[in-house]
Structure 1
Amino acid sequence: MNSTIERSLSKVPEVTLTFWIVKIAATTLGETGGDAVSMSMNLGYLVGTAIFAALFVAAVVAQVSARRFRPFLYWITIIASTTVGTTMADFADRSLGIGYAGGSSILFALLMASLLIWYRTLGSISVNTVSSPKAEMFYWVTIMFSQTLGTALGDWTADTAGLGYTGGALVFSALLAVVVAAYYRTGISRTILFWIAFILTRPLGAVVGDFLDKPHSMGGLDLSRFAASDVLLMFIVACILLFPQRAAERAH
């Protein structure tokens, strides 16, 4: 009986309000945590990317190897993807001199290519189909591109576009509200709306994370990156423990 139930479930969580709350907290943690390693510890973007990339690969291997959905393992992998996304985007935008607009354009193209190849290969990009190793690999590659894109897009909005961190947070919050309205009031594909929302939560987390730890002179609260990361991590753990998450039902 238990094995039959497990085969009918995917390896990712059911998409609920708790999912989105934890996702935004995780993306914010990715920003503060990534900056803590690359900036506060003075390791630089390249070294930070190498560290977090190794952690991300290890987490993905563990996630793919798991026989069923494990909440803590799943969110560890999400956090790893968002921290490597932070340092990777910063390295491309700042160290390589591509710039926020250029980096965002390249990453958007990679993200769209990932989704297209996933769809052409397996016939669906719905999270409810993420139950096989091949689907999981497409899922995590797509997520890594979306997290990296979100960092570049968030920085571009706050810095280059001149909206600042609070302005950027308001813009992405408003866009997410539009997605929510479309979910309840239109017949637009739920899968498309999911990925749009998933992508938008990353730049929202990026600007909120920067708002927390950037200096007052730059419009931030100048909080310790390590302290902010610790608080966000404890919040995520509390959400997982207090609001148990179920695996999404697998599409047939």
Structure 2
Amino acid sequence: MKTPTEQALAKVPEVTLGFWLIKIAATTLGETGGDAVSMSMNLGYLVSTGIFAVLFLVAVVAQIRAKRFHPLLYWATIIATTTVGTTLADFADRSLGIGYAGGSLLLLALLLGSLLAWHRTLGSVSVGTVHSPKAEAFYWVTIMFSQTLGTALGDWTADTAGLGYTGAAVVFGALLALILAARYGTRVSRTLLFWAAFILTRPLGAVVGDFLDKPLSAGGMALSRYSASAALLSFMLAGLLLFRQRAATTSH
């Protein structure tokens, strides 16, 4: 039998400053890690997507089967979604030839469709409702679409729109600042603001990751993808130690 305390906790973390810092690091790691496998290891986008898709499915199954919130398991699953999102978006944009704009529009439609199906099925897309296998399945599918969209959107802004990595980072950082202002200065739905921020942290991580590992001639810092990934993973682990991760309180 579950205690009242266990019944009142979701299997996802409470949304705090620490959550967002670790989330941005995870999305940046997804970009450098995904590129390390697909480009540095020369495995290509399709093979890399297959590898990361398997890891994603294994992590999601483990997350759903867990009886309670486990920070390391949760963030490992987030990393799995962001790495598969990186290679999947690159495969769609570059290998399939639909371009960044086409890929972004397609992934936006999939993301909105996932949120709509989730809301129509369970009545809410709030993270506080993620305490059942069905809600978790919707949660992770939605996150996977948002991570993939973020990669395509980041690449489109930095490359096609011509803003470059730093310019794109400024744009997405400013949009996140507006969401933060709306969080404390308006009565806009907190669930809507959460998903808007969650989606926008991914293209921010994508352009920061590209800035770290792309060649100097392309506007990057030409850092090793392996060393950048290791540094980001170390930052995440330090963040987990510094910012205690508590399970979000459920809502019905």
Q: Tell me if TM exceeds 0.5.
A: yes
- In 1: Cα distance, 2:242 partner to 2:171 partner: 30
The residue aligned with 2:145 is: 145
- In 1: Cα distance, 2:235 partner to 2:187 partner: 34
TM-score by length of 1: 0.99
Letter paired with 1:185: G
The residue aligned with 2:157 is: 157
The residue aligned with 1:80 is: 80
Q: Deviations over 1:89-146 (max 9, x none)?
A: 0000000001000000000000000000000000000000000000000000000000
The residue aligned with 2:190 is: 190
Q: CA deviation at 1:242?
A: 2.0
The residue aligned with 1:120 is: 120
Q: Does 1:94 align with 2:100?
A: no
Show the 5 A alignment for 1:94-243: 94-243=94-243
- In 1: Cα distance, 2:218 partner to 2:150 partner: 20
Letter paired with 1:242: L
Q: Deviations over 1:20-57 (max 9, x none)?
A: 00000000000000000000000000000000000000
Identical pairs, percent: 75
The two structures, once aligned, show a CA RMSD in angstroms of 0.9
- In 2: Cα distance, 1:242 partner to 1:157 partner: 33
Q: Which runs of 5+ in 1 are unaligned?
A: none
Q: Does 1:70 align with 2:70?
A: yes
The residue aligned with 2:19 is: 19
Q: Which runs of 5+ in 2 are unaligned?
A: none
Q: CA deviation at 1:244?
A: 1.3
- In 1: Cα distance, 2:101 partner to 2:154 partner: 11
- In 1: Cα distance, 2:50 partner to 2:197 partner: 28
Letter paired with 1:208: V
Q: CA deviation at 1:3?
A: 2.5
- In 1: Cα distance, 2:73 partner to 2:152 partner: 26
Q: Does 1:37 align with 2:41?
A: no
Give the number of equivalent residue pairs: 252
- In 2: Cα distance, 1:242 partner to 1:155 partner: 32
Letter paired with 2:215: P
- In 2: Cα distance, 1:156 partner to 1:245 partner: 33
Question: Which stretches of structure 1, 4 residues or more, deviate above 6 A after TM superposition?
Answer: none
Q: CA deviation at 1:158?
A: 0.2
Q: Deviations over 1:38-81 (max 9, x none)?
A: 00000000000000000000000000000000000000000000
The residue aligned with 1:3 is: 3
- In 1: Cα distance, 2:5 partner to 2:140 partner: 24
Q: CA deviation at 1:243?
A: 1.7
- In 1: Cα distance, 2:114 partner to 2:97 partner: 24
Q: CA deviation at 1:6?
A: 1.0
Q: CA deviation at 1:2?
A: 6.8
- In 1: Cα distance, 2:110 partner to 2:232 partner: 29
